[in-house]
Structure 1
Amino acid sequence: MDALSCHWSSNRRRYGRDARMSLRWAKVAMLLTACGGAGYRYAGRDVYFGPDGGQVWVRGPWPAIQPSRNVDDVIDQLCPIIMEMDGAREKDYGQEYCGVLYSLGDGVFYASYPSPLGEMQRIGPNKRKSCTSPRYVRDERGRAVGIADYHSHPWAPSPLTPEDRWEKNQRWLIRIQFDTDCHVMKLVPHANEPQPGEVYLRMGRAWELIGIIKPEHKPFGIVTDVGD
């Protein structure tokens, strides 16, 4: 067990759902889940997300998430709504969802729709889930500039995996991950830069630094506890 997993095991605080999520947005999420009588994973393909030459695109903005000039306000809304979507809580039979946090250069941050697209999964229970971090956001209002990707895990407790932390898998400045108990983690990878990567845990309305990834450990995503 690595340092991050050890730290996670000692920090199994349950956050519950964001009390600020309104009934309106919960209904939006449920409508997406039930879209057209089929699950969002199927009805949303080529509408809210889709494949493109081996990459994935997602549409934005997602109306279920209120935009904000504070990106943390956007992050705090994600988990409760994602967990309403089909398969998001189903553990070994579950589904990960991936999306992007972005701006149009106006100082306001938006969330894209989530995408379930990823590696093909065998039928039946599977201890490893994945979705592909989108490369593009399609927003008809202008050019979307990504700042972070986000993805869910269908279990709890479930911290960032080694693959989540590998330097080669970092596409944006920040990576956000959360599990079914809405434990939210943030990785600031500083990919291809000399300073260490940083791993944070959301504690209420603040981020607590719980580990670093030394430059020589970035290819492998090895986390060193901040107390070491």
Structure 2
Amino acid sequence: MPESVPLSSPANGLPSATAIEVKDLSFAWTSGKIALDRCSLSVPRGEFWMLLGTNGSGKSTLLSLIAGLLTPQSGTIDIHGGLGIVFQNPDCQLVMPTVGADIAFGLVAEKLTPSQVRHRVTEALSAVNLADLIRRPIYALSGGQKQRVAIAGAIARQIEVILFDEPTALLDPDAQLDLVAQVRDLVKSRGLTALWVTHRLEELDYCDGAFLIEHGQLVDRGEPERMRQRLMKEVGNY
């Protein structure tokens, strides 16, 4: 039987300086293929970290486990604060016809008053510079705008930890860098914590640190520039 994976608060012992703590996480698909093998990492609270690795390395599987979309065979995951995720394709999570309605839909479970909902929606859209598009149909948005609406949805729910699963994969180069810069600014200005899956080395310019996963194991972590140099050297050896 899989072990339980607690989503924790500071009361259960998770250090307040840590937002995400993953210990000895292992996961295998039903085919028997091992995706993660005793993987451990820690994301500092209030920082923007990236998760690097080649296709099939296990990085997206790890993100899905942290998000609770998959259940590990062993290991623990501790989260400090509310958790949200932004997917590679924003169409997978935008469900209402307009920008404002989509963000308001995510607040239904909180049973807020209409004025509280309007305040949350307006404030969240202002945070991602989309306040003027509150009535814009979702279908009329660009890919980058859709990703920012997804981020605004997390902000409106007052999420403290946001996971990003290759959110720039479907965007053009200019929109890619605009989005990663906006997330960096949100992390710093709002005290959020972000873990961002990518394979684009230019995105390392915007983060506080990075993890490298190979064959389901964490093999390195550290300063963005050092990680970039390591990856460039490895690629140059082929």
**How does the TM-score come out when normalised to structure 2?**
0.30
Q: Structure 1-normalised TM-score? A: 0.30
